[in-house]
Structures are given as structure tokens and as C-alpha cells.
Structure 1
Amino acid sequence: MTGSRGREGRDGDMTELEIAGQVVELVRRLAGPDAQAEALVTRIDLALTRFANSFIHQNVAESGVAVRLRLHADGRTAAGSGSLVGADGLRALVERTLAAARLCPPDPAWPGLAPPAPVPPSAVFDESTALAEPDERAARVRAFVDAVGGLEAAGYCRTAYRSGAFANSAGHSAVGRTAEAAMDGIARAGGADGVARLCADRLADLDGAALGARAAAKARAAADPVELPPGRYEVVLEPAAVGDLLQNLSWYGFNGKRYNERQSFADLGAAQFDPSVTLVDDPLHGSALPYDLEGSPRRALTLVDAGTTMAVAHDRRSGAEVGVASTGHGMLGASTFGPIPRNLRLLPAAARAVGGDGPASAVEAGQSGAGGDASTSAGGTGAVADPDTAALVAGVERGLLVSDFWYTRVLDPKSLVITGLTRNGVWLVEDGVPTRAVRDFRFTEAYPRALGPGALLGVGRRAVRQPDRMDGVWWEAPPLRLAAWNFTGGASG
């Protein structure tokens, strides 16, 4: 079954909602009226254009439909999935899921089904992105390669389209659709790499030339690095590095299951962060379906408001454990790992959260973009290609400018102490100017402490959305100036 390419169903096909309803009805007929069932149907079109050595070497696309069933019968819960949406395929899915349920242990913590509730429409959907052709992605790759000016270039441009529906035997249903584009590219000058990446709701918002020029400027500026001793340095973290902070805070801190198990740093109502930190999980700000795996509506959830921790993410099971409602974060693997925010935004300096769970309209002052002019704007090495970052660097007497983190691993989940490496460029900053490229560091840092009260010396005014490995997941943040970051050695140890 191919994807719908921007339509809820093709001529002759059942719509996603019709398929979901049919699965629920099959459960009622085969397992009886007391069985509880929920069905999620998603049509998917994913396309990727990958390049290396400055040439496109792969263009791939996949299109299909996925059906997921979860049911609770005779006190036992099981889930199954399939891709065959004909009558025989759906019946086989229900039968094997019922057979699995009979073998499962009792599930006394079953939270029940999501009741009927209004689900907001998908806030953002761009038809041209959903229908994007390979040559449109290739044109952005060509612009990136041309802009690096003869340097070696590698990376990808991708587009994704999803449409889906949910139905359960409690009478709840929901539909939605979403499209997304992302580009991630590296320019290499000798052994030095410069990176530029962006996730956007519209393919038209990806400027391959601007991204390529940025990556090339940073690669050239990263040549001939010097080695500095380990220690605590004041730092300016570019949005890519801040994205790693958000990802780890999300997975290990604002995870409702870990919070219930007292394995999270989160302390609701406590001022754990600097007052300039406001974190909002905001799926409808960008490309995301408006309901979760359990059919619960997805809305903006303020996790940290002006430094005070306000909430963690819950699905129905983790929420029921502590007597609160789902926050719309049901997801695959949540029963094992826990529910996590997947569209986390650190609001820029121009934005403020107000009331309830939603950010103020001033958030729009922090709209994602390609990151500004690709020309250098802070003198020195040419390491700064963004006026927003340059304004933070200008205030640093002596410190480091860090492009990116990678290979980050948790040492202590409770306090969220992380070790990892810098990547794609580090520069010594003296008197507000990047003066020398620096060899990569290993670091060991507690992420909440690094963002704690008094730790932030500056927050950029414009957020940049960073793509995750999975479409529909992104991290959006401005650059940050932090009072200290603990570098413990060189990249080799």
C-alpha cells in the first residue's frame, strides 16, 4: 500500500480513519464488547537525498502504511502491528494480538482508554513539502556544494509526510497530517569540519547556499587548531550544541516514568534553572501530528517557566501512577523507557511564556530560520557566521565558542551528569573575538547545573530548529552564553 502523498486516502483506498475503525470493530466482534482496543493508522512517505565527496550518491524513498493495535482483554494487555490493510490482513492482526494477550501476565496498572476529547488540527502543513520531488532536494544539495567553494561536502536533504488517524472502543477518534524537511551538511577543509543544519516545516525554507556558506566558513576557520589545557571555561554554545542539552534533558529529566521512579532531577515547583530559561514542549509549533500514540491531544506543555520546573511529560500509564492526566506524550517504548518530550523549545530572549501550558505570541519573534547571514560577523578567525551568536561572543573576555556536541553519554541519570565530545569546531575567544581554533575536548558536566540559577550570562534572540535522526522529532534553541563548562581532557581521553 503506497502512501497518500498529501491526501487522506486515494481513490479506491480506505482512509486511515476507516481502517482504524474497522480494526476496533473486529476486536469487538472477536473478543467481545468488554475488550478495550485502540488502533493507530499512519501513512508515511519518507525521502532522502544523500551526498558525499560533493556528489549525490543516493536518492531513496519509501512509502507505506502502518497499523498498530493495542488491546486490553480479561485483565491482560498486548500490542501488535502490521502493514496489510485488506480484510484478511486486519483480521490476522487482531487475531494474533488477541493470542498474545492470552499469554501476557495480568496488567493491574492498565490506565484505560483515552476518552472522547477534542483534538486540535495540525497547526502546520505544507502541501508542496509533502509532494516534493527528488530534483527539489537535489537543487538544495547543489546550492550547498556550490557554496562551499571547492571544499569537500557531505550530508543529506530529506522530506517527510505523514497522515494518520486514531480510533478506540471508547468512542474517541482523531485525524491529522504533517510534513517536514531537513538538511544537514558538512564542509571539510583538510582535517577541519564545519557543519550547518536546519529542520523546517517547509522545504522552501531550506536555503542550501546559506547553509553551505556557513559550513565552509566554519571549516576554514577551524584549521590549525591549538591544544588548551582542560578546566572550566566560560562558553558560548551554538544552537546545535544546545540541541544536545535539550535532548538529554528531555529523555532523562522531563520523562514522567523516570520522575515517578525518582530517577529524574526534576523537582516540580523548584527554581532549578536560571530565570532566563523557559522550556516548552510545543509539537504544534512545528511539524507533528496533533495526537499521541494513545489518541491523547498534543498541546504545548511548559516544562520550565522562567527558571522554575513546572511539569514533566506523561502518557496515560505514568500519569495514572501519580493521579494526573496524560500530557499527550504516549509513544512507542514508553512503558519501558518512559514518555519524553520530542519537540522541545528553549525560548529565545525575546519570548516569554504566559499562563497555562502555552507560550506567548511573542514566541514568534524566535521563529526558526537558516541562522542568518553566512558572512563572518565577529572578526578574528571568521568562526562566527551568525549575528546572534556574535552578540554573545562579544561579551566574553576569555572563553570558548563551541559548535556542537556528540557521543554524549549519561554518567549519573539522577543529576544528569553527561560526558561527551566537542565536534565541528571549537575556538578560543579573547576580548570578544574568536582568535584561534582549538582541538576538540572531552567534557563532563551536569546539564541542569550548567543551566542553573546564575549560570546563564546570555541567551540569543533567535531560535534555530535542529533535526533529530527521526522525522517529527526536533530541538529548537538559540545560542547560549554560559558562565562555565567543565572540560576534562582532550578528545582522546
Structure 2
Amino acid sequence: MREGIRPAEEVRTLLEGLLGRLTASEAQVTWRQSEGLATRFGENAITQNIGGASQEVAVDVWLGRRHGQASTNRLDPESLAETLARAEAIAAESPEDPEQVPLPGPQTYGERPQRFFPATAALEPGQVADDVARVVDAAKAAGYRASGLFEAGARAEAVANSRGLFGWQAETHADYSTTVHGPAGSGKAAASQSCRSRLDPAELARRAVENARLAQDPIAVEPGDYTVIFEPLATRGMLGFMGWVMAAREADEGSSVFSGRLGEAFLDPRVTLAMRTDDPELPAPLFGDAGLAIEPRSWIEAGVVRRLFHDRYWAAEQGTTPDAARLPLFMAGEDRSVEDLVAGCRRGLLVKNLWYIRFVDRKSLTLTGMTRDGVFLVEDGRITRPVKNLRWNESPITFLQNVVALSRAERSGGWGAMKLPGVLSEGFTFTSSTDSI
């Protein structure tokens, strides 16, 4: 049963009370709460409604350089006392951590666009059913079958430490994805927002049905290097791994594609990757690691590598400011639609989405994966045929070095959301075709 997100002052009293009972030289207490629902549907009917709520308290203590952590989802006094004792006992038996750094002191958290929407947090299954009906009715009218998932929820986090830091933040999300199946092909559409009222189920239904219509009876094409138009969802799949390798430590130690690249023009000048805090469609959290305030960051600016992610330890080693988080990731786009990218392509492949993505070589950031949810042959600026799915081997670096044009950026994903554009890029390597549709 959902009880609503606990207010900041109530949580602060809880956490500071726990800190007062610890004897460790340094300590941090973190509280998390989440509530949400999910509605699944398939074969044009709702198949599952689920909901859940949880709270957790995690205790981190340091005895010198010895670290211990314990957590519990039972918030009665006895369970919390046992968790405190367990964290201190673990620290006493742990080896010293040579990379331990002091906890941050009190932070100043900047202003953000609205991140928490009460109506989205309180959404009920009956309201979701109305949104599902839009897709199901559109699929039925076309003689197709619809499946999908609607998820919505709220989560909050608070952190307090022995140096006087306290932070509290809350956010909501609503994510809707659907796949419409025809006899010989399928089409997908998806959308993600902080507020449910910003979703457009009718437009989602229209796109999914139209994608399914276009996807019927795909042909096989020869593998090789192609000009590609990636829709924003596919761009997310391609760039999702970049956040994990854009780390200063890996680069400084020579194990990253970004080694020695700081200050260099490394990607196409159209490419700018950043952490923004002012975008109302995707407002960044207030804080990240250990309650550290999240500040705007420009990672890559007009193709030039300006900064790489520094965790607190590596920042201390290098004498620079630490970065609190890697996500959300923003890539600036241009004022055109994906349809405009298609119109500007003489011959290539329009790619809707990617999956089964894995590293081939981490140092060079070479990935492999499959296309999904629609691939289309583009000739003379228009879609001419659907194409069977393809396996690909490529690096996001090469993909971003060969950019020809970008569309407007769109939000995609739930809690780990990004805001990325569609991308027209040359020389993308497909290694084999499949019979899957």
C-alpha cells in the first residue's frame, strides 16, 4: 500500500538521530523510498497490474580507513539499532581502504525545474487503463496486436553525515512503451516524462501503428558499411556505454579511448555532451555520490573533450573538483526532425532501436549489438522498404566522428534518463543479417 513520500524534515530527524548513536570517526546514513505501479498488456488486453512501495536505511561507518556498511528495510527502533551495530562490527573487521577519502561537508544545492509531480505519484491503475486503451484500440482498428508496459512512480532519497551534510530530493516518472505486431513485422513507440500529463498516448499509438505498418514483409540486405539515421532511442543505446568510460582515472591510467584526448578535437564539431541542471523536461538530481551537489558539466563541447568524470578519490589525487554523477546525459541537437534527416539521406538505413549491446573491446570502446523494433531502407530521401534486423560492430566514437546532421533532442528512459537527438552518421558497420523481424 502506498503511503506517500515522507517529508524532508521527518526524514532529517530520523537520520540525524541515528548519526547521534554512532561512535565511528566518520558516518553516513542514507534513506531511500520508492512507490509505483506497472501495467502490462499483450494481445490487445491488460495482463497484469502490480504496485509496490519500499523504504530502506543504509548505514556507512569508517573506523580510520576501515569501512563497514549495513542496511535494512525494517525501520522499527530495534531493527535500526541492530543495523547500526552491524555496520560498526563490519568496519572493525574490514581491511583498510587505501582510497578512502573524507566525506563532504554541508552542500549548497542549486535550483531545479520541478521534478516531483503529486498526481503522477498518486496515479491509479484505472487511469493507466485509459492510456492503454488508446494503443489497443488503434492496433485493433488496423488489424494488429498491441503489447507494452506503462510504469509510473515516485522515489525519494536523503543523506546525512557526521560532517553536518544533509540533503533530500524526490522525483516522479511516467514511462510508456508499446510494440504493435502485424503478421510479418512490428513497430514500437516509447515516451518518458517526469509528469504523466506530458505523455501523449494518442500520438504514441499513432507512431506504433504506423511503424508496424511500415515494417511488414522486410527484406534482407547485405552487411557492410552504411549511412545510418538513428532515432533518439537508438542513439541512447549507442551512447549509453560512453558514460561509464568517460572517466578521468581510466584515461589517466592509459586504459581508455579518452587517454591523452583532453583538450583535443576528438569528435565531430556538432557533438556536445553535458550534464545540465536547467532542462525542465529532464531536470538533474540535486545531489549524487555521498550527497555531493550536482553541478552543470560540459564533458565534450563542439567535439572537443573538455572534462572527464572525477570520482571523489581521483579528484583528491589530481587536486581538482569531484563530479557527483554521470547521468543524466544531454547531447545537443539541431532544429530538425528525424523525418528531415531521412529526407537528407541519399541511401542508408533508418534504425529505430538497439539491444543486446556488449563490449567487444573496452579500451577502444568497440561495441556489438543488434537492431530491433524496425530497420528501414532509405533511398533518395524516403523510406522504400523494411529491412530484417542486423548485427553490428561499431564504436560510439566513430559514430560521433562521422556525424552529418542531428535532429532535435528527446528524453528517453526512466530513472536513468537521457536527452539525445536522432543522428545521421556515415560508415556504420553491420556485420551480419538475421531472419528475425
Please tell me the TM-score bracket, short chain as reference. Answer: over 0.9
Which of 26, 42, 50 is the matching residue for 1:52? 42
Matched, 1:162 2:109: no
Matched, 1:433 2:432: no
Q: After superposition, what is the alpha-carbon deviation per residue over 1:370-405, rounded to whole angstroms, capped at 9, x for unaligned?
A: xxxxxxxxxxxxxxxxx8111111111111111111
1:250 Cα deviation from its structure 2 partner: 1.2
Are 1:180 and 1:287, in contact at CA under 8 Å, matched by a contact in 2? no
1:243: which partner in 2?
236
Closer/same/farther in 2, CA of residues 205 and 182 from structure 1, 3 Å limit: same
Equivalent position SS for 1:451: helix
Give matches, 1:139-178, under 5 Å: 139-148=130-139, 149=141, 150-178=143-171
Q: Give the number of equivalent residue pairs.
A: 429
Equivalent position SS for 1:311: coil
1:122 Cα deviation from its structure 2 partner: 4.8
Matched, 1:234 2:227: yes
- Please list every run of 5 or more consecutive structure 1 residues that lacks an aligned counterpart in the other structure: 330-340, 351-386
Task: Quote the Cα distance in structure 2 between the aligned partners of 1:103 and 1:230.
Answer: 56
1:289 Cα deviation from its structure 2 partner: 3.4
Are 2:411 and 2:420, in contact at CA under 8 Å, matched by a contact in 1? yes
1:349: which partner in 2?
334
Task: Quote the Cα distance in structure 2 between the aligned partners of 1:264 and 1:135.
Answer: 49
Are 1:6 and 1:131, in contact at CA under 8 Å, matched by a contact in 2? no
Residue type at the aligned position of 1:473: G
Residue type at the aligned position of 1:185: T
Which of 186, 196, 218 is the matching residue for 1:225? 218
Equivalent position SS for 2:241: helix
Task: Quote the Cα distance in structure 2 between the aligned partners of 1:447 and 1:441.
Answer: 17
Matched, 1:465 2:414: no
Task: Quote the Cα distance in structure 2 between the aligned partners of 1:195 and 1:22.
Answer: 49
Equivalent position SS for 2:290: coil
Give matches, 1:360-439, under 5 Å: 388-439=337-388
Matched, 1:315 2:308: no
- Please list every run of 5 or more consecutive structure 2 residues that lacks an aligned counterpart in the other structure: none
Are 1:140 and 1:208, in contact at CA under 8 Å, matched by a contact in 2? yes
1:348 Cα deviation from its structure 2 partner: 1.3
Matched, 1:112 2:102: yes
1:259 Cα deviation from its structure 2 partner: 3.5
Residue type at the aligned position of 1:68: A
1:241 Cα deviation from its structure 2 partner: 0.6
TM-score (norm 2): 0.93
1:320 Cα deviation from its structure 2 partner: 2.5
Closer/same/farther in 2, CA of residues 3 and 25 from structure 1, 3 Å limit: farther
Equivalent position SS for 1:5: coil
1:211: which partner in 2?
204
Which of 6, 10, 15 is the matching residue for 1:15? 10
Q: After superposition, what is the alpha-carbon deviation per residue over 1:239-268, rounded to whole angstroms, capped at 9, x for unaligned?
A: 1110112211112x2234533543322222
Are 1:284 and 1:298, in contact at CA under 8 Å, matched by a contact in 2? no
Equivalent position SS for 2:264: coil
Task: Quote the Cα distance in structure 2 between the aligned partners of 1:62 and 1:96.
Answer: 28
1:264: which partner in 2?
256
Are 2:112 and 2:278, in contact at CA under 8 Å, matched by a contact in 1? yes
Residue type at the aligned position of 1:277: V
Are 2:329 and 2:419, in contact at CA under 8 Å, matched by a contact in 1? yes
Task: Quote the Cα distance in structure 1 between the aligned partners of 2:21 and 2:249.
Answer: 32
Are 2:38 and 2:149, in contact at CA under 8 Å, matched by a contact in 1? yes
Are 2:112 and 2:277, in contact at CA under 8 Å, matched by a contact in 1? no
Residue type at the aligned position of 2:13: E
Q: After superposition, what is the alpha-carbon deviation per residue over 1:284-317, rounded to whole angstroms, capped at 9, x for unaligned?
A: 6325531114000113221111111112223323
2:20: which partner in 1?
25
Equivalent position SS for 2:293: coil
Are 1:48 and 1:60, in contact at CA under 8 Å, matched by a contact in 2? yes
2:270: which partner in 1?
276
2:432: which partner in 1?
489
Equivalent position SS for 1:342: coil
Q: After superposition, what is the alpha-carbon deviation per residue over 1:57-107, rounded to whole angstroms, capped at 9, x for unaligned?
A: 111111121112211113201222111222212211111111111221111
Give the structure with the larger strand fraction: 2
Residue type at the aligned position of 1:198: A
Equivalent position SS for 1:26: coil
Closer/same/farther in 2, CA of residues 256 and 41 from structure 1, 3 Å limit: farther
Runs of 4+ in 1 over 4 A off after TM superposition: none
Equivalent position SS for 1:15: helix
Are 2:239 and 2:396, in contact at CA under 8 Å, matched by a contact in 1? no
Residue type at the aligned position of 1:93: T
Equivalent position SS for 2:59: strand
Matched, 1:296 2:292: yes
1:227 Cα deviation from its structure 2 partner: 1.1
Give matches, 1:78-93, under 5 Å: 78-93=68-83
Task: Quote the Cα distance in structure 1 between the aligned partners of 2:237 and 2:62.
Answer: 37
TM-score (norm 1): 0.83
Equivalent position SS for 2:368: strand
Closer/same/farther in 2, CA of residues 120 and 85 from structure 1, 3 Å limit: farther
